Structure 1
């Protein structure tokens, strides 16, 4: 390992002519949101002005000398350093005193120093260099930012950060602003760790991460795949841009999920370790996917598959079953208890494309829901999904997967479970939605937002209720929580109407309130609600769900 330098320093030294920074291509764009910026400002402002305030650790790779100083690549800490530069710019433009104003600008933009051989230079080189130069690094830039037209999320986040800081400073007097500038410059400190070797800097990055600081796993994975040790310099910018485009298109949360789905597809086992270690030990080291260009292109391929199958849902575009496919995916995405079923869908499409894709998804959904209803643990459900992944890998034809034993479950026990009282079960709402799906004409796309489960025969019936003419106490107890007696409403329940007798309930409660649900509308066609009606409904429902 090369020489490592570590030191606790104040911000006045960090942003002096001893340090110049650049953000490498593999780093993600500026992504701090308003909440992050507000928290940073409040923490600094409310900290004890008589004591040092610690702003965290930054990890740097030394690149070259600039006059009496050095230029560093920021391996960890670029979001904080960029935000501090934005805060200094806002303070520069808010303070009136020239000495304070110039001091802040010197921390943002280095004037030429012929004596020390230091050229005119920005303190930090960011990806959005022109935007940042105009609105942050240039005098009065934060005042002019109201005229900016952000072109991407990074620029939007910069504008939001400026607006947050300007709002905070607007409530302060000039003396308070000067005091804050002094506190930030003299008593806000960081620990910087620097080394000349990228690999050593990266190791430090992962060590700091393992000690619990808030670094995203995907950022470390990105650095691993955009390292100079696995990719030449001419490709680095291209693939860094591709990585950022994938994350921009999907959004951070979904992007991280896709990384996890790919791990599952490749490993086909329940995660037993940190995702970074599993990628390194179970994927990269075994050459399942090569680091660098291969992995990023592989990631982009799965991103396209995910968009086609689950976001755009246009895999059957023009097919007569297109809406049927979309509606099934909608209820699965919105109402299944986990997303463990997604990796098999992605992998199936990669292997077999559109071939019997709807048949596969129906079989997969039946298997997943059956496991859920049968009380299979979440861990065992993951194991079962991984069995399907292995079957997809071993199969040459789609039917070998769809008709495989890995899709099987005990139909007899499933029938018994659905035939019981389901109202209080976690899968109750989903089964009712599945019935809507099975009994609907798929001529329009359907999405469900606010839905509630309603009993037709009320949960509580007293001896004076008209319901007692049709249901004894024992019959009421037997039928009230069965699926035949339950329907979905597209609005919240009206509890004051729930005990109406059947005729009044239809007219005053159901009518006009259930337009989104075709099965619920059928209630209006019944002239009575009796044990005989419920027996027939239960039989039909069980047959429909189980088959």
Structure 2
């Protein structure tokens, strides 16, 4: 059993220990706390140290405030390598340094003693116990943190330049401002607050006997206010693997590049953008395992099997890099794809759920050649197939979770070199028609925009719309016109698929409330009285409609809806997704 050295300590006890020599290693993430976290820390500590704004209500013998754990292990250089807790440790150092800056000109005995105590927390001491301001008790080697030198400079000098915009500089200024306000309000009791922080705020240092043990603890703990992402854990595992191979520097470079790509193309409501990459890749590995279970394991749980065995081989990082670059090309509409592929990817960009990204990730990993390219014709067939299936399934059986049942077996077929057929989940024609005829395509339903994007590109004259174009749903017969004229007899006509199209946001703002005869010029483009050119919409169908119609009324809505649905049913049939 691994041994742990656990003994709760005050900040002063931990920081002034002669053996205290902290290192934030290069595989750690950059410092991430901002003013919100610092404000919370300051408010909490102040409320603890000055209960009810009264210094005398504090019990220095018994009152304690727990700040959380610090997980370390002693590395080969005899330094305490920080595995968890670097955010709070860094912030506490900045806070103490800010306090120290205010004691320089104070001559009373309490202030001198407090300054001396703070100094011993920040700097190493000589054999006489005197702080050596050239030797900090903490160092940072974080490979992806370009601002770490500012942190070390602030601790050494207590100075920060106005031009410095790092989180270290911003948070240090924040603490200086809060301390100045505190000093003005409590000049007589100024020394009490830093002393109570040092003597009564508790940390739980957990010193593991090895990096492996520390990493296991690290995988179960959170930094205060900054939860560890799953990829923080994965990074540590990769780091150890490549360090053992003597490739630490190469790994750091590659990981940093991978992070930059993910930051550019992925967003994540929880965790980090890198988590999204690992999620998409997970489905490939999951499919190779033949796993069609509709209950998907959490990301970290999946990768931690057999002590993260999956991450401990050279091919995985290569695969992750390849997959990230593929999705970067997708997001940037890279011209290495054909025009037809880019149009299909543009449609999928508006998919009613994210399952297509997993299907496409598995397809890419299973079918890419040595140059990380896909066969164009096969890719077109695959994209058409999943578009048709996902769209129909979203109307007939709504919900992304419902889509897992048919999608997971297809992923297994993909990695086994079989074609995607959805053989057990094909649709009956009359079921599809009834479902689409009766479905209310409100703007709030994702499938509405999805269908309109698909329909937009059914026109062979439609050019590729840049991915950064903001498209909104346009009511061709406007709501305001119906409010004023009451021309539509059927209550569902306004929200009918036949009355909607995609339209650029800038044009939609101008055209939304007009009669069709007025909308036409916005669809077609026009020149203002001042001679300014207002470009036409990039949606070809609307331009053709404006050129051929004088008005757009209820029968037009009915006819267009029927036509869209009929064409989608033909699309399903073409892709082999209908049964008799």
TM-score, L = length of structure 2: 0.75
Mapped to 2, the partners of 1:85 and 1:202 lie a distance apart of 24
Residue in structure 2 matching 1:342, options 341, 354, 357: 357
How far does residue 374 in structure 1 lie from its aligned partner after superposition? 1.6
Q: Which SS does the other structure have where 1:61 is aligned?
A: strand
**Contact kept in structure 1, 2:343 and 2:464, CA below 8 Å:** no
Which of residues 75, 85, 96 is equivalent to 1:77? 85
Partner of 1:218: 231
For the 8 Å contact 1:225–1:293, the answer to whether it is kept is: no
Contact 1:327/1:445 (<8 A) preserved? no
Change (3 A) 1:362 1:143: farther
User: For the residues of structure 1 that align with 2:151 and 2:304, how far apart are their CA atoms?
Assistant: 41
How far residue 57 of structure 1 moved from its aligned partner, in angstroms, is: 1.1
Query: Where does 1:371-382 land on structure 2 (aligned, <5 Å)?
Result: 371-382=393-404
Q: Which has the higher mean CA deviation after the structures are superposed, 415-424 or 14-23? A: 415-424
Q: Relative to structure 1, is the Cα distance of residues 273 and 502 closer, same or farther in structure 2, using a 3 angstrom cutoff? A: closer
Tell me the secondary structure at the aligned position of residue 55 of structure 1. strand
User: How is 1:226-265 mapped onto 2 (pairs within 5 angstroms)?
Assistant: 226-227=239-240, 231-232=243-244, 234-251=246-263, 253-265=272-284
Shift in Å at residue 402 of structure 1?
Answer: 5.5
Question: Structure 1 residue 330: deviation in Å?
Answer: 4.1
Structure-1 residue corresponding to 2:406: 384
Q: Residues 24 and 82 of structure 2 are in contact (CA less than 8 Å); yes or no, is this contact kept in structure 1?
A: yes
Contact 2:97 2:158 in 1 (8 A): yes
SS at match of 1:427: helix
Report the counterpart of residue 276 of structure 1 in structure 2: 300
When residues 527 and 87 of structure 1 are mapped into structure 2, their CA distance, relative to the original with a 3 A threshold, is same
Deviation at 1:387, TM superposition (A): 2.5
Q: Write the mapping of 1:10-159 to structure 2, written as runs, cut at 5 A.
A: 10-16=10-16, 17-49=18-50, 50=58, 51-63=63-75, 71-97=79-105, 99=112, 100-113=114-127, 121-127=135-141, 132=148, 135-137=151-153, 141-148=157-164, 156-159=166-169
Answer yes or no: is the 8 Å Cα contact 2:523–2:542 preserved in 1.
no
1:173-200 per-residue CA deviation (whole Å, 9 max, x = no partner) reads 2637644322321222111111223333
Aligned length: 514
For residue 390 of structure 2, what is the aligned residue in structure 1? 368
Following the alignment from structure 2 to structure 1, what is the Cα–Cα distance between the partners of residues 303 and 441? 42
Seen in structure 2, the aligned counterparts of structure 1 residues 84 and 338 have a Cα distance that, compared at 3 Å, is farther
Q: What is the distance in 2 between the residues matched to 1:245 and 1:45?
A: 41
Secondary structure, aligned partner of 2:333: coil
Distance 1:347 1:501, change over 3 A: closer
Q: Distance in 1 between matches of 2:495 and 2:146?
A: 64
The partner residue of 1:190 within 184, 189, 203 is: 203
The CA deviation at 1:77 is 0.9
The 2-side partners of 1:536 and 1:497 are apart by 22
Deviation digits for residues 13-72 of structure 1 (CA, Å, limit 9, x no counterpart): 12112421112333223233443333323332333442322110111213479xxxx731
User: Greater CA deviation, 6-15 or 512-521?
Assistant: 512-521
1:202 counterpart = 2:252? no
Distance in 1 (CA, whole Å) between partners of 2:509 and 2:150 is 58
**Could you report, residue by residue, the CA deviation over 1:241-265 in whole angstroms, capped at 9, with x for unpaired residues?**
4324322432373211111111122
Q: What are the superposed Cα offsets for residues 197-253 of structure 1, whole Å, 9 maximum, x if unpaired?
A: 33333333335469x99333222222233336x851622343244324322432373
Q: Do the aligned residues in 1 keep the contact of 2:32 with 2:87 (CA within 8 Å)?
A: yes
Partner of 2:174: 164
Aligned position for 1:536: 559
Deviation at 1:328, TM superposition (A): 4.2
Q: For 1:267-306, list aligned pairs within 5 A.
A: 267-268=286-287, 269=292, 270-281=294-305, 284-285=308-309, 289=310, 291=312, 293-306=314-327
CA distance in structure 2 between the partners assigned to 1:71 and 1:501 by the alignment: 74
CA distance in 2, matches of 1:159, 1:213: 19
CA 1:484 to 1:138, structure 2 compared with 1: closer, same or farther past 3 Å? closer
1:384-463 maps to which residues of 2 (within 5 A)? Answer: 384-395=406-417, 401=419, 405=423, 408-424=426-442, 425-439=445-459, 441-442=462-463, 445-449=466-470, 451-454=472-475, 456=477
**Are residues 101 and 449 of structure 1, via their aligned partners in 2, closer, same or farther at CA, if it must alter by over 3 Å?**
farther
| 8 Å contact from structure 2 (residues 462, 540) kept in 1 | no
**Cα distance change on mapping 1:438 and 1:367 into 2, 3 Å:** same
Q: Distance in 2 between matches of 1:189 and 1:60?
A: 16
Determine helix, strand or coil for the equivalent of 1:219.
helix
| TM-aligned CA distance change 1:502 to 1:81, over 3 Å | closer
Deviates more, 1:120-129 or 1:486-495: 486-495
Q: Tell me: CA distance 1:283–1:78, structure 2 relative to 1, closer, same or farther (3 Å).
A: closer
Distance (Å, rounded) in 2 between the aligned partners of 1:201 and 1:466:
70
Task: Report if aligned partners of 1:388, 1:406 keep a CA contact under 8 Å in 2.
Answer: no
